[in-house]
């Protein structure tokens, strides 16, 4: 049974929480400048152009604001450039916080620039926006622990997670061996993947693919990119039940339906 069924209020509630998860995965919160004279603020979600992704972003346009544009490079973008509209929209994060460290750091930097509104301060501090990531991570870990302790996944996290899966999840099937797996990856925030793994009662070890893997011929990179891969049928069914109750909304929904062979 879907979380929101035919209730419009619950449906919109799911969409907003889902949007935050999508922002965490595929969004960007930007502060730029024009010729070192004026500050420019921007919220953006950039996805591969497909009919389903376009329709999903149009839902956010009508419910949250912003504009949806199709770029010339086969991408579809949800964009907010208006300062007052951005100030209104980021209030959503007060109620439904971001769960990735870098995105929360981007939000804090944007808020600081809205307060100071000083091009000199921006130019001095623009390369320091991630310097406080350790403290930000500790706050997010506390947020997640509170969800676990209070068993309050339904209040926000579950819909957020579907948005995050829409951005970062992958449903894959190997035709030769008929092996199915679900994977989800993230830069640096190992604690977040551990939380997702535990929610779905996963047992596989999360890999740091940035260290390289001789068997898979993957090179070492500077970033810590962590990857959670799930093959166990019982765990895959928990993910299935989750995505039925808290639906995916874009192109990932098609791969989800194909993965579970739902016609």
Across residues 198-210, what is the average pLDDT? 93
Among 6, 12, 14, which Cα is nearest to 162's?
Answer: 14
**148 lies in a domain?**
no
**138 lies in a domain?**
no
Across residues 183-206, what is the average pLDDT? 96
Among 66, 73, 77, 67, which Cα is nearest to 26's?
Answer: 77
Same domain for 102 and 32: yes
Same domain for 107 and 63: yes
Q: What is the mean pLDDT of the chain?
A: 91
Q: Which structural domain range is residue 230 located in?
A: 155-259
- Angle (CA) 252 146 30, round 5°: 50
**3 lies in a domain?**
no
CATH number, domain with residue 222: 3.10.28.10
Non-local CB neighbours of 36 within 8 Å, separated by 6+ positions: 119, 123
Same domain for 122 and 42: yes
- Angle (CA) 151 153 154, round 5°: 115
According to DSSP, the residues that pair with 107 across neighbouring strands are: none
Same domain for 194 and 83: no
According to DSSP, the residues that pair with 183 across neighbouring strands are: 170, 229
* Tokens (6 digits) for 117: 């509104």
DSSP H helices, 153-189, are: 157-168
Same domain for 122 and 26: yes
> What is the total count of domains within the chain?
2
Alpha carbon separation from 91 to 78, 79, 168, 221 (Å, rounded): 18, 17, 24, 36
pLDDT at 211: 65
**80 lies in a domain?**
yes
Is residue 65 helix, strand or coil? coil
Same domain for 125 and 159: no
Same domain for 123 and 73: yes
Contact 253, 51 (CB under 8 A): no
**53 lies in a domain?**
yes
The 10s digit of each residue's pLDDT in 34-79 is 998 899 999 999 999 999 999 999 999 999 999 999 997 899 999 9
The 10s digit of each residue's pLDDT in 79-125 is 999 999 999 999 999 999 999 999 999 999 999 999 999 999 999 99
Contact 204, 123 (CB under 8 A): no
Same domain for 240 and 188: yes
**41 lies in a domain?**
yes
Four-CA torsion 21, 48, 263, 173, nearest 10 degrees: -90
Same domain for 100 and 15: yes
The 10s digit of each residue's pLDDT in 145-166 is 999 999 999 999 999 999 999 9
Same domain for 250 and 160: yes
């Amino acid at each position: 049974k879907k979380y929101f069924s035919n209730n419009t209020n619950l449906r919109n509630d799911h969409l907003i929480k889902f949007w935050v998860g999508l922002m965490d995965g595929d969004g960007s919160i930007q502060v730029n400048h024009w010729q070192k004279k004026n500050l420019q603020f921007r919220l953006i979600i950039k996805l591969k152009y497909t009919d389903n992704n376009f329709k999903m972003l149009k839902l956010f346009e009508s419910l949250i604001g912003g504009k949806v544009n199709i770029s010339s490079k086969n991408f579809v973008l949800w964009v907010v450039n208006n300062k007052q509209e951005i100030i209104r929209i980021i209030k959503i994060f007060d109620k439904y916080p971001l769960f990735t460290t870098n995105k929360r750091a981007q939000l804090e930097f944007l808020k600081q620039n809205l307060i100071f509104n000083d091009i000199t301060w921006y130019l001095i501090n623009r390369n320091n926006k991630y310097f406080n990531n350790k403290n930000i991570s500790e706050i997010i870990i506390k947020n997640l622990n509170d969800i676990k302790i209070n068993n309050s996944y339904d209040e926000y996290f579950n819909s957020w997670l579907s948005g995050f899966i829409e951005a970062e999840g992958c449903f894959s099937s190997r035709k030769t061996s008929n092996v199915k797996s679900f994977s989800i990856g993230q830069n640096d925030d190992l604690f977040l993947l551990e939380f997702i793994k535990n929610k779905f009662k996963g047992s596989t070890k999360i890999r740091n693919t940035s260290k390289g893997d001789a068997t898979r011929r993957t090179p070492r990179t500077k970033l810590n990119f962590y990857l959670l891969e799930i093959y166990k049928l019982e765990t895959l069914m928990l993910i299935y039940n989750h995505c039925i109750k808290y639906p995916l909304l874009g192109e990932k929904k098609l791969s989800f339906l194909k993965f579970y062979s739902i016609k």
